[in-house]
């Protein structure tokens, strides 16, 4: 057989082998391809892919980030287009199956730390745009994926088959009758692309979310995430978004602060890497949808400010446990009034996080401190120092209880045991006793 004939046959064979990839590549029209890549880049921002698939100090999208769950540690995977350790050999069908159905190219089931139950409701076109963007703009990185470290029985992946039967639905986002296009877009972003329920919806005994939309009272009603209390996003007046206007929601998602609150903890990361990049129309859509969700806890009466605690602090009366610690550590920023300085130091009076039934986030803030979101709209971020190094558990519990029961706040006290347990979980040492 002639050499040129052999070369021709080899070229044909290689072309056939490449067909599955080419068949699902970007559109042939250059303008359409540019638009699809831009759409994928934008969707990746909203879906916040970088937050989970990039380890501290690691290459973008190369995985390796440790995700702490109640069942153990799961490490995010390499989603760069590297053919050996990433998604380089994935066709669009492979990618779609992983993103929307939680199944890797080799058939391995993915743990729902990857929010595929939410992504299942994404459109095929949006998944295709993500795929094209990953292959076009993400640099391939050869980095092997790390094994999970889960306790029995959660380390048996076959259990994900019945789990998916119970919790995975790929039906489109439901469009409520009478709602406009802005509401529908917001519902799609919240329920699918931005997967807000993955953090803000409580989970059951099998770690499935207790609701996918407002048809469930549990949907977005608040949950625990890696030791933090993800706040209630329903219309409750005290612990939810009932007292926020639509403009307040937009401002918070875009800048990480508004007149009611300032971001901290994991939400600062979400705003810094994701929601600040939403366009104005999508921010309005998300706010429109969130403001339509009825209250989950039945809080219909608005917060009412009580000046009594402020008067006692201004008079130097520290007869309430925790008052002296508040005056020493908190009052310079949050004032005797508890009203803080809007958009810099958040108010503690009437703050939904302060009166959350679960004080976990407050305990974290006092022990370790926090930082606001780093956004393009602000010249700097603000750091709140932690005080675990200088206050004992009972002192911290007294301080938090004082904050949760002053200025009209009516939340339950915080116990010394709760602070001590979180200190142990964080590996923090108690202050040295003289």
Rounded CA separation 308/249 (Å): 30
Strand duo 149-150 + 72-75: pairing: antiparallel
With contact defined as beta carbons under 8 Å apart, do 423 and 354 qualify? no
With contact defined as beta carbons under 8 Å apart, do 166 and 206 qualify? yes
Answer yes or no: is 383 a known binding residue.
no
According to DSSP, the residues that pair with 73 across neighbouring strands are: 68, 149
Rounded CA separation 163/211 (Å): 15
Answer yes or no: is 167 a known binding residue.
no
Answer yes or no: is 330 a known binding residue.
yes
Q: Token pair of 369, please? A: 């401190």
Residue closest to 408 by CA, chosen among 310, 259, 304: 304
Answer yes or no: is 196 a known binding residue.
yes
Task: Name the burial class of residue 409, with classes exposed (0-12), middle (13-18) and buried (19+) by CB atoms within 10 angstroms of its CB.
Answer: buried
Residue closest to 127 by CA, chosen among 43, 48, 54, 188: 43
Edge-to-edge strand order for the sheet containing 66-69? Answer: 66-69, 72-75, 149-150
With contact defined as beta carbons under 8 Å apart, do 118 and 190 qualify? no
Answer yes or no: is 333 a known binding residue.
yes
Answer yes or no: is 53 a known binding residue.
yes
Q: Token pair of 123, please? A: 């459109």
With contact defined as beta carbons under 8 Å apart, do 43 and 126 qualify? yes
Rounded CA separation 292/272 (Å): 25
Packing angle, helices 246-255 and 280-290, rounded to 10: 130
Answer yes or no: is 52 a known binding residue.
yes
Answer yes or no: is 199 a known binding residue.
yes
With contact defined as beta carbons under 8 Å apart, do 249 and 290 qualify? yes
For residue 147, count other CB atoms closer than 10 A to its CB: 10
Answer yes or no: is 24 a known binding residue.
no
Instruction: Mark the binding-site residues for heme c, compressed into ranges.
Output: 49, 52-53, 196, 199-200, 330, 333-334
Instruction: Mark the binding-site residues, compressed into ranges.
Output: 49, 52-53, 196, 199-200, 330, 333-334
């Amino acid at each position: 057989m002639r050499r040129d004939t052999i070369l021709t046959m080899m070229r044909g064979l290689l072309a056939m082998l490449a067909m599955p990839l080419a068949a699902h590549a970007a559109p042939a029209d250059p303008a359409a391809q540019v638009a699809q890549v831009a759409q994928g880049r934008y969707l990746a921002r909203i879906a916040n892919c970088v937050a989970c698939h990039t380890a501290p100090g690691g290459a973008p999208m190369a995985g390796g980030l440790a995700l702490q769950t109640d069942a153990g540690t799961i490490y995010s995977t390499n989603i760069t287009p590297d053919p050996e350790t990433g998604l380089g050999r994935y066709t669009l069908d492979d990618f779609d199956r992983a993103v929307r159905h939680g199944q890797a190219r080799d058939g391995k089931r993915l743990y729902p730390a990857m929010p595929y139950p939410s992504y299942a409701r994404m459109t095929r076109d949006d998944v295709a745009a993500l795929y094209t963007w990953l292959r076009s703009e993400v640099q391939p990185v050869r980095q092997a994926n790390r094994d999970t470290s889960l306790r029995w029985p959660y380390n048996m992946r076959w259990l994900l088959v019945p789990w998916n039967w119970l919790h995975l639905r790929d039906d489109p986002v439901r469009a409520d009758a009478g709602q406009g296009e802005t509401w529908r877009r917001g519902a799609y972003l919240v329920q699918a692309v931005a997967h807000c329920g993955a953090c803000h919806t409580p989970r059951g005994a099998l770690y499935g979310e207790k609701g996918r939309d407002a048809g469930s009272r549990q949907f977005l009603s608040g949950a625990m995430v890696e030791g933090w209390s993800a706040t209630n996003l329903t219309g409750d007046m005290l612990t939810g978004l009932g007292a926020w206007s639509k403009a307040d929601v937009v401002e918070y998602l875009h800048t990480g602060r508004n007149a009611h609150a300032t971001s901290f903890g994991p939400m600062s990361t979400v705003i810094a890497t994701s929601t600040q990049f939403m366009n104005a129309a999508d921010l309005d859509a998300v706010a429109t949808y969130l403001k339509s969700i009825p209250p989950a806890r039945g809080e219909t009466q608005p917060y009412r400010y009580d000046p009594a605690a402020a008067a006692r602090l201004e008079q130097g009366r520290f007869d309430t446990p925790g008052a002296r610690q508040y005056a020493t550590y908190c009052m310079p920023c949050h004032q005797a009034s508890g009203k803080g300085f809007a958009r810099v130091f958040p108010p503690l009076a009437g703050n939904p996080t302060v009166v959350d039934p679960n004080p976990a986030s407050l305990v974290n803030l006092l022990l370790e401190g926090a930082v606001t979101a780093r956004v393009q709209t602000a010249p700097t971020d603000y750091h709140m120092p932690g005080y675990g190094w200088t206050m004992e558990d009972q002192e911290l519990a007294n301080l938090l209880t004082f904050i949760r029961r002053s200025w009209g706040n009516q939340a339950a006290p915080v116990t010394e045991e709760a602070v001590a347990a979180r200190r142990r979980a964080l590996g923090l040492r108690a202050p040295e006793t003289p």
